[in-house]
Every structure is written in C-alpha cells, then in structure tokens.
Structure 1
Amino acid sequence: MAASSQPLQTISSPPVAVSRGSSGASLGEDENGEAAELYTETGEVNVIRDVLGTLDHVGKDSEVTLLLLENGIKLTVVNESKTVLANAFLQDKLFSKYAVAVGVRFTVSLTVLLECLTLFGTSSTGRPLRMIHARDGAPLVLELVEASVATRCAIATLVAAEPIELNFASPDVRGKAIIISSAVHDALYELEGVAGSIAFEFVPQTRAASAMFRMSARGSAGSCAIEFPHTSDGGGTSGGTAEVGPGAAALIESFDTVELITNEYKTELVHASLRALALASKTSIRVNTEGILSLQHMINRGDELIFVEFFVVPDEAYEPDAA
C-alpha cells in the first residue's frame, strides 16, 4: 500500500516558560556577566562535530535549529522542500557544565557551525569548548580554551521556524524493523545506481515463507532486491538477489507488521542518512499511517548512546505492483 506524498507540516507551539538549568543552578553568564539562555562547557568536541556531521546532507546550505531542553539540546534540520527532516540529540551528560533556558529555540547555519568546529582541529578532545547564547538575536558563541589561548567564533542566529509535527506514536506505526546498521548501509549502496527511488517493504508471514523487511529498486537496466527475513527466534539473515554482510549473522533484531506495506522513497532523500548509518550500530526502520519513513540510528560513543533520526516523505509518483 502506498501513501501519497505531502511536505511535512508545521505546527504552532505555545510560549513555554523559561526555567533554570537541569540541576536547578542559575544560568551561565555571557561575556558581559549577564545571564545567558545557553551556557555549556564540554571536552567532547569531536562527538558534537560528528553528530552535526550526520545532518550535513539533508539539504544544500542547511540550517540547524537548536531546542534547549532540561536534559539536552535537540538539533533539527529540514530541507527546503520539507521532504526530509533530521533530528539529533546532545544529552546533558556530554557537558561538564550545562545551564539553559528551557524551551528556547534558535537557528544557525549548519555549514558555518561545522566550519567553526573544524577550526578547533580534530585532536581537541579534553580541551573545554564553551557554547554561549546570551539572548534572542545574539550570536551563538563558540570558544575553545587551551592554556592562555582562546579561539572564539560568533555565529549569527535566526528566528526558528515553527516545529513540524510527526505522528509516530505506537498507534500510528504500521511497520517496524530493527536491523544492524552496516547491513542497511551496504544495502543502500547496492541499490544506489539502479533507480531514482527505493521501495521499502514490510512483508508479513502470511504473504511469504517468512516475515521479512525488503528494499528494492527497478530501473531501465534491471532490478535489485535485498531481503532481511525474520525468523521465529528473532534472528535473520540477508538474502534476495544481493547478499549483504555475513550470511550467518543475525542482521534483523526485531520485526513487526500485520499487513503488507510498500512505499517508495527518492534515493537522494534516503541517502541523507548514510553518514549516520556509517557510525551507527543499529537502525530502527518505521513507517507510519501517512507512509512517512523513519530511520533512527543508534550511535555508540564511549559510554553514551546518541540517536539520530531521519524522516522521509514517500514518493507520490510511486505505483506498487498489484499483489
């Protein structure tokens, strides 16, 4: 069953009361000694850069919106046509100092932010990076301190657009599979040159020898399908017309669908998540009642788990084969 494609829809959010930092301490101060909406310090510069880097292929000249929360910073990137949305989350545990005004949202250039973090070098782990946003309209300041030398970048901020509402609560999810990320990554590369769109299928056991998740593509030069069967003991191996990963390994951790679900997505939109896939250990693949695809990647960084999620609208031109 295919769903028609519509751009992701925005919603208006009511004002949220400003509170103190996650520990109840007073907010940090800007360079003028005034209370700041955001004040953090961290030695995990490489982690922050890697997480932001996973969002860099959502769209050209992308902007990232930061939402300050009690337990961390939510990062959101949407492409110009609103056909791809990506979220990442920086937990407050990544920061040695974390003080925010909860609910504040602002937007900066993702390209400029990544360039600034790159200026600090790749061996900056352990040196304290400060991030400060004083107030509405003020720049986002990044400051890396080493000995008596401080490198400082000030990035212009923009008013954040209204957030986008997505229905992925349990009743809205029609199909779900959790698969080893390296297998999904390899499968997408196998399908890359076949066609401009990739079909994602959740096949129940009533429709095949075993329940399975399948990705396929059809083009003028031929077709390719990669299957991830789900066995009764919860394991699975790759199969179909292309092999992905070690055949003996259990690649699919869990699978759930009660009906045949088929939707197709533009290859370039799905590939926005490839960088996150390369870093992730597991990937949750879900489809909701509107046919929107969710790819949630779990990335292990030391003792911390980082989740990066991509939402992709279906290709409205897709017409599945009759069952």
Structure 2
Amino acid sequence: MDGTPIFTAVSTSARQLYLLLRCIAFSQRAEVQIDPHGIQFSVEEARVVQGLTFLDKALFSSYSCKLPTTDSDALPTFSISITALLETLQIFGTAEASSSVRNPYGGFSSSYGNAFSTPALALGGTCRITYQEVGAPLTITIQEGSVTTVCDMNTYEVQGSQGDDGGVPLDRSKLCMKAIMRSTWLSDAIAELSGMNPTVLVVNVSKRSAPYFSLEGDGGPFGNSTVDFTSESKNDSTPSEARVKRQPIVTETFVVNAPAGSHGRIRQRYKFDMIKRASRAMASATKVSIRQDEQGVLSLQFMVDLGDGGSGSRGDESAALNAPPNPANVAYVEFRFVPLLDEEETESEGQTEDEEIEEQDLDLSP
C-alpha cells in the first residue's frame, strides 16, 4: 500500500447526506457497499422490511474508488452504526423547514416543496468520507468555516453479504403491479389511514373493475378505512370516458399483470407499522414508484429532488417531474416489504390480464 486511501469522496453538503440517510435510519446498523459508481446503504429489520439508498458518484464533488483486484466490481461490504453516522453528519446542526400550506397538487401534506432547498438545509458544511483500507475505520470529516470535526467510525465485517438486491429480494422479471405517482399522494393516504390506528395495510389493485387502486387500513381499534384512488375527478364532464381509462388520475403509470388464478384482482396485506418506516422518505420525495412481484414483495422507490432551489417555482417542478432525472440532482430511496401470509384474499372479477410491465423504471442500481 502506498498510503493512499482506497476510497475518498467529498460532498459540498453534509446535510443532503444526513437527510437521505435519515430516511432509512429505522435500525441501528447499516450495510455499506462502495463501488466506482457510488455508495449503497442498506438497513433491514427482522428480515421483513429493508431500506436502501444509493448515493451516485455524481452527488459528490470528487469521488475516487480503488478496487482491491482487477476482477472485483466493488469493495467488500461492511456495516457501520448509522445512528453514529447521522450524529456526525448533523454535528453543526440541521435547520428543519416546516410549512402548513396546502399542496397545490392535492392533499394537505406539510412536507410539500423541496426538502433539500436552502431554508431546509441552512446551506454550509462539507463532508469528506475516507476509507483507508479494507477493515479500517470509515473516517468522516465535517468542515464548516474554520471548524473541522473528524470522526473515525468502526466498521464491521458482514457475514453473508446481502448482495445487490439486499435482504428482501424483489423479482423485477415477475412484476404483477407497477404504479408511478407523486409521493405526496401516497404520503397523504398513509397519514389518513393512520388515524384509525390499523395493524394491516391492504393494497388492492385491478385493471378490469373498480376499485382500480385502493389502500385499506384493517384491524384498527376504531374500525377500518379505505383510500380509493379513483379513475375520474369530480369535475369530469364525461365520467364514462374516464372509466374507460381504468387508471387512477393520480398515477402517470399504472400497469397490472395479475398472476394466474387471481381473477384479475390483486389484494396483498402488509404490516402497517412496517409501512410507516418509509414515512420520512414519503415526505421528502417528489415521485414514488410502487411495485409488487408475484411473491407479494412490495417495493416503494422514492425519487428525491436534490435541487438547489433553482427549480423552486411550482410550474418548473411540474415540468421537472416529467423530464428524465439528472443523476446530479436526484437520489433514490427504496423500501421493500415482505407480505403477511396469514390470510389470502382474492376476488373473482374478470379474467387474468396479459399486460406487460414496462421496463420504465426508477432504478437504484447505477
């Protein structure tokens, strides 16, 4: 070794890293995988819920990764305390933005706007991440003005690395449902269902008959509740034509490929408390891609806008949502959930559909 670290990355905003990692900090430990394209952090709980975020190299002002061998594509995976990492990243304090204004795109989400805009970040402070060699501590250097803080974080060997797809595998080749929508709509729906304190979330979708897409909260002490994403608005002058679309108006992509034997409708149950682990990501994201494979694994993949406020006007944001994402301006946070298998619910409505799931995707992989 010539003394040069095998990995070094510099970010001009420690607070961006903090807010992204905070989205998945529902457990104390995180697995870290570093490769020439970026850094992936993975957190899981009880093998039933997993949170991942991929920090693309484009998010850093400088990025250097030296692989140990020519035939390796990533550094060996290790784990760290994500709790300690967050404490380090916010050592100079983080200003929180709050707003109670109504979201002009629907709902009353208090998180409307760019979570990474200037008021939210109190811009300032750079972060340097250094990994000297395999097994060495991960060094975090935070500098703001003339003040510098250095933290050496212990790294731990991972037994049986989870791999690219992590501990909760999603079979992308056998997706049976996919929807892309504004994250605000999903966040408001989960908040609405939370009022009844349910124990189970039921995802109910179909392309043949209503409800086409609904979320149901079951098992709560105050009763059950349902949020139905309808295919028509109250202002539709021709509701019959809207129904022909068979797509909720809040979705820009909605594809259902119900497996054989499901009779065209898919109902899958998940533990509600686990879904709430994604609340911070829902509040920070601009878009969400909702996917479900044939085994019932649910993926919520959030696209988080890292803009500097230049796209702050609401009209510009609408245009940005329909434009191809720029790796330097966005990051992705994904949650995967294992379904509850104690009760299977199916409904006989229509025939099995043969629609193909398009590969138009928001992928964490570089």
Q: TM-score, normalised to structure 1's length?
A: 0.77
**d(CA) in 2 for partners of 1:261 and 1:322?**
8
Please name the residue that 2:181 is paired with.
179
> TM-score scaled to structure 2, two decimals?
0.69
Contact 2:30 2:43 (C-alpha < 8 Å) held by counterparts: yes
**Comparing both structures, which one devotes a greater share of its residues to strand?**
1
The answer to whether the Cα contact below 8 Å between 1:45 and 1:124 also exists between their aligned partners in 2 is no
Which residue number corresponds to residue 339 of structure 2?
314
Q: 1:265 to 1:149 in 2, by over 3 A?
A: same
- Partner amino acid, structure 2, of 1:116: T
Alpha-carbon distance, 1:127 to partner: 3.5
The corresponding residue for 1:111 is 83
1:64 to 30, 36, 47: 30
Query: What is the one-letter code of the residue matched to 2:181?
Result: I
CA distance in 1, matches of 2:61, 2:131: 17
Distance 2:268 2:247 in 1: 24
Indicate the SS of the match to 1:138: coil
* 1:96 shift after superposition: 1.4
Are 1:121 and 2:93 an aligned pair? Answer: yes
Correspondence 1:81-120 to 2 at 5 A: 81-102=46-67, 103-104=74-75, 105-120=77-92
Distance 1:178 1:287, change over 3 A: same
1:266 counterpart = 2:271? yes
How far 1:194 moved relative to its partner? 3.9
Q: What is the alpha-carbon distance in structure 1 between the residues aligned to residue 61 and residue 246 of structure 2?
A: 40
The amino acid across from 2:41 in the alignment is: L
Deviations 1:73-118 (A, max 9, x none): 1111111x11011110111112111011341122100101001111
The answer to whether the 8 Å contact 2:15/2:90 transfers is no
Count, aligned residues: 271
Shift of 1:191: 1.4
Note the C-alpha offset of 1:222: 2.2
* SS of aligned partner of 1:222: coil
Of all paired residues, the percent bearing the same amino acid is 27
Q: Could you list the per-position Cα deviations for residues 228-256 of structure 1 after superposition, in whole angstroms to 9, with x for gaps in the alignment?
A: 134556863xxxxxxxxxxxxx4211111
Counterpart contact for 1:263–1:318, Cα < 8 Å: no
| 8 Å CA contact retained: 1:229, 1:252 | no
The reply on whether 1:224 has 2:222 as its aligned counterpart is no
Partner of 2:297: 292
- Distance in 1, Cα, partners of 2:230 & 2:29: 38
The SS at the match of 1:315 is: coil
Change (3 A) 1:290 1:298: same
Alpha-carbon separation, structure 2, partners of 1:121 and 1:160: 31
- Is the contact between residue 42 and residue 95 of structure 1 (CA under 8 Å) also seen in structure 2? yes
Pair 1:198-2:164 in alignment: no
CA distance in structure 2 between the partners assigned to 1:234 and 1:304 by the alignment: 33
Q: For the Cα contact (< 8 Å) 2:170–2:299, is it kept in 1?
A: no
Distance 2:146 2:217 in 1: 57
The whole-number CA distance in structure 2 between the counterparts of 1:260 and 1:143 is 52
| Structure 1 residues 318 and 234: CA distance shift in structure 2, 3 A | closer
Q: Report the alpha carbon displacement of residue 203 of structure 1 after superposing the two structures with TM.
A: 1.4
Is it true that 1:54 corresponds to 2:23 in the alignment? yes
Deviation above 6 Å: which 4+ runs of structure 1?
none
- Determine helix, strand or coil for the equivalent of 1:67: strand
Does the 8 A contact of 1:203 with 1:214 survive in 2? no
The residue identity in structure 2 corresponding to 1:52 is L
Residue 148 of structure 1: how far off its partner (Å): 4.8
| Structure 1 residues without counterparts, runs of 5 or longer | 1-28, 237-249
Distance 1:125 1:160 in 2: 35
- Residue number in structure 1 paired with 2:214: 214
- Counterpart residue number, 2:103: none
**1:35 matched to 2:4:** yes
SS class of match (1:191): helix
- Asked if the contact 2:137–2:153 (Cα under 8 Å) also holds between the matched residues in 1, the reply is yes
Q: Distance in 1 between matches of 2:338 and 2:294?
A: 12
- Provide the C-alpha distance between the structure 2 equivalents of 1:116 and 1:310, rounded to a whole number of angstroms: 24
Query: In structure 2, what is the Cα distance between the partners aligned to 1:124 and 1:293?
Result: 35
Letter in structure 1 aligned against 2:17: I
Q: Which residue identity does 2:49 align to in structure 1?
A: V
Question: Structure 1 residues 196 and 96, CA, compared in 2 at 3 Å: closer, same or farther?
Answer: same
Q: Secondary structure at the match of 1:121?
A: coil
Distance 1:202 1:158 in 2: 42
Alpha-carbon distance in 2 for matches of 1:40, 1:267: 37
How far is the alpha carbon of 1:146 from its aligned partner?
Answer: 4.2
For residues 95-147 of structure 1, what are the alpha-carbon distances to aligned partners after superposition, in whole Å with 9 as ceiling and x for unaligned? 11101134112210010100111113336744332111111221111112345
Shift of residue 322, structure 1, vs aligned partner? 5.1
Contiguous gaps of at least 5 residues in structure 2 = 68-73, 95-120, 232-241, 258-263, 308-327, 349-366
Measured on the aligned residues, the alpha-carbon RMSD in Å equals 2.2
Separation in 2 of the partners of 1:68 and 1:124? 28
